[in-house]
Amino acid sequence: MPGFGLTMGLTLTWLSVIILIPLAGLFLKSLELSPEQFWNILSSRRTLNALRVSFGLAFAAACVNLVMGSIIVWALVRYRFPGRRIFDAIVDVPFALPTAVAGVALTALFAEKGWLGAPLAALGIKVAFTPVGIFVAMIFIGIPFVVRTVQPVLQDLDPEIEEAAGSLGASRWQTIIRVILPSLAPALLTGLALAFARAVGEYGSVIFIAGNLPNVSEIAPLLIVIRLSEFRYADATAIAVVMLVVSFVIIFAVNRLQRWAQNRIPAR
Amino acid sequence: MTIEVKNLVKQFGSFKALDGVDLKVDSGELLALLGPSGSGKTTLLRIVAGLDWPDAGEVLINGEDALAQGARERHVGFVFQHYALFRHMSVFENVAFGLRVQPRAVRKDEATIRRRVKELLDLVQLDWLADRYPSQLSGGQRQRIALARALAIEPRILLLDEPFGALDAKVRKELRRWLRSLHHEINVTSIFVTHDQEEALEVANRVVVMDKGRIEQIGSPDDVYETPATAFVHGFIGESIELPVRVEGGVVRLGDRPLNLAADGLVSGASRLFVRRHDMLVGPPGSGAFEGAVRHVRNFGPVQRAEVALSGGETIEIDAPRGRELRAGDTIGLEPRRYRIFTG
């Protein structure tokens, strides 16, 4: 293959400089801790709770985005309605908006006196300054990942296969479950993984709405920043290393799943 | 199963896809809908299948109102031009699909489904491909699988939309013959859409020629070829010479020259004269209704195709049998063995 040496060399160099070397630094820094210290930091109640909040809520938010994102994609791709292009553009807003702006906007909206916060408070639901707020912010920033990954695949999906399924006697529901979703599965899984990864790493928008109560609504990235500001660098890197490893394992697993789904549909 | 279509009208925006179509298909027929693109043939097929709905008119399948049912209830096998196979399913699962989605009450058990799929794959002679995926098949194989899939539900009628349209010429010819013998074997009432006249004439028992949302002629392949009902049919089927003529008082004129052709019963006015290329007989100069000079000649197997400039200036192409070789520059007389004149 011509160009293999060149492109492979560039790929490895670039990935090393941009990703691998900084991450290696992270691991090196955490080596300053003895295994016992490392374990103590990780098993402290505050760290465990922060990790639980971050990963748990990120996964829940990614699942919500998967469902809602799929519905939005379906509407955008399959139907023609006035304002479709505008809605299509709005999907990208969470990509572009500075996350701090998003955080402030969501906080104002869901605060007890806010437009949405007030009616919810009347129902006894508190969003701002609780884990629910974190969940909302994570949904907000994750939605474009699902939409943009699934959209091109759905556009490529020939509507004729739905007609074929229908004429073979499949109900609408059977067509969705047996024909459409399996065809979209690889893209849906990629979208899920991306939305999840984004939500785990999200900092800017979450800290405004979270309330940041230790053990309740404190996310792991914030805990890292707090440790840094206390000059406890090793503590910070220890938490960072754990986040890195867990994220990597989860994304790798989703990737394998996606690969498996993809292989069931050999390339055309 | 019979299919009956009454006064079907369908409009897409300002485009009239179907403009009052009446058609009756008898049980066990293999009917071709033939026409150029935009003639409404695919729309008609899709309406019969329940994939589209008419603005007005009736569709009866076996005497029952089909428009009251969706595609799912009609029990119609449909084969798409671009196969529409399920990419994520193996060939086996594609064929089994229609059996697996049946309501639980009538669904067959797994062993029966397997046996039935095996039978169908044998029928289309592709049992050895059961475990492959559609992307690993050739176009002709895909279309045969699509047909097996449509037959799995034991459809009351079979509808094929340009089934060979996406295939190359050689495979098309093979599949045509194969489709005809398959129809002979299973004998299910079938309609197929095509824009290829050769395909329609070779495969179908009856041909429906359509243009601009209307039926121009319904007849056996021989009928539509030998006795075209309209100028459109004559021009569309078979290779024809078309000349603008005028009929005045029983005389046919090309330009200002009277032609020695019978014009009994023809309405006076602007008309069009149609002659099949091979129906122009070549003779010595002055011997026929036309005279012209041979421009050039190409040989196609049993015939020589000559471009002839008529004395009035029109240029036509004729197919003359080999034997009496034509040469560029020859002056020849031409006599139409058979011809049709259509007013308008």
Average pLDDT for residues B309-336, to the nearest whole number? 86
Amino acid occupying residue B88? H
Q: A153-174 burial, b for 16+ CB within 10 Å, e for fewer? A: bbeebeebbbbbbbbbbbeeeb
Q: Which residues of A fall within a CB distance of 8 Å from B89?
A: 182
Q: Does B88 touch chain A (CB under 8 A)?
A: yes
Average pLDDT for residues B143-153, to the nearest whole number? 92
Does position A266 have pLDDT exceeding 70, yes or no?
no
Which DSSP symbol is given to A202? Answer: -
Residue contacts between A and B (CB atoms, under 8 Å): 78
When pLDDT is cut at 50, 70 and 90, the band that residue B303 belongs to is confident
Does position B218 have pLDDT exceeding 60, yes or no?
yes
CB within 8 Å of B181: residues ≥ 6 apart: none
Chain A residues within 8 angstroms (CB to CB) of chain B: 158, 160-161, 163-171, 174, 178-179, 182-183, 185, 264-268
**Number of other CB atoms surrounding residue B219 within 10 Å:** 17
Q: How far is CA A138 from CA A66, A200, A241, B5, B171, in A?
A: 13, 8, 22, 57, 55
Amino acid occupying residue B156? R
Beta strands at B157-161 and B56-61: parallel, antiparallel or unpaired:
unpaired
Candidates B178, B134, B156; CA nearest to B59 is: B156
Q: Which residues of B fall within a CB distance of 8 Å from A163?
A: 51, 71, 78, 80, 84
- Span B32-85, pLDDT tens digits: 999 998 899 999 999 999 999 999 999 999 988 999 998 888 999 999 989 999
Encoding tokens for residue A36?
């016992």
CB within 8 Å of A121: residues ≥ 6 apart: A112
When pLDDT is cut at 50, 70 and 90, the band that residue A268 belongs to is very low
Q: What is the pLDDT of residue A267?
A: 47
**Are A265 and B51 inside 8 Å of each other by CB?**
no
Least confident stretch, B101-105, B256-260, B276-280: B256-260
Q: Which residues of A fall within a CB distance of 8 Å from B84?
A: 158, 160-161, 163-164
Helical axes A45-78 vs A220-229, angle rounded to 10°: 130
- Span A240-254, pLDDT tens digits: 998 888 888 888 888
DSSP string, B72-121: HHHTEEEE-TT----TTS-HHHHHHHHHHTS-TTTPPPHHHHHHHHHHHH
Average pLDDT for residues B19-27, to the nearest whole number? 93
Q: Does B87 touch chain A (CB under 8 A)?
A: yes
**Number of other CB atoms surrounding residue B114 within 10 Å:** 15
Q: In the structure, how many helices (H) and strands (E) does chain B have?
A: 9, 20
**Of B82, B88, B153, which has the smallest distance from its Cβ to A169's Cβ?**
B153
Average pLDDT for residues B168-196, to the nearest whole number? 88
Q: Which residues of B fall within a CB distance of 8 Å from A158?
A: 82, 84
CB within 8 Å of A116: residues ≥ 6 apart: A109, A110, A127
Nearest CA in chain B to A186: B88
- The β-bridge partners of B340 are B274
Does position B24 have pLDDT exceeding 50, yes or no?
yes
Average pLDDT for residues B243-270, to the nearest whole number? 82
Test mutation, B69, B87, B147, B191, chain A, max A CBs within 10 A: B87
When pLDDT is cut at 50, 70 and 90, the band that residue B267 belongs to is confident
Encoding tokens for residue A117?
């916060």
Share of chain B above pLDDT 70, in %: 100
Test mutation, A80, A160, A167, chain B, max B CBs within 10 A: A167
The interface predicted TM-score of the complex, written ipTM, equals 0.83
Structural contact between residues B199 and B172, judged by C-beta atoms closer than 8 angstroms: yes
Q: What is the mean pLDDT of chain B?
A: 89
Structural contact between residues B156 and B75, judged by C-beta atoms closer than 8 angstroms: yes
Test mutation, A157, A158, A163, A168, chain B, max B CBs within 10 A: A168
Burial of A250 (0-12, 13-18, 19+ CB in 10 A): middle
When pLDDT is cut at 50, 70 and 90, the band that residue A112 belongs to is confident
**Of B51, B82, B89, which has the smallest distance from its Cβ to A167's Cβ?**
B51
Does position A194 have pLDDT exceeding 80, yes or no?
yes
Provide the whole-model pTM.
Answer: 0.81
- Span A119-136, pLDDT tens digits: 888 888 888 888 899 999
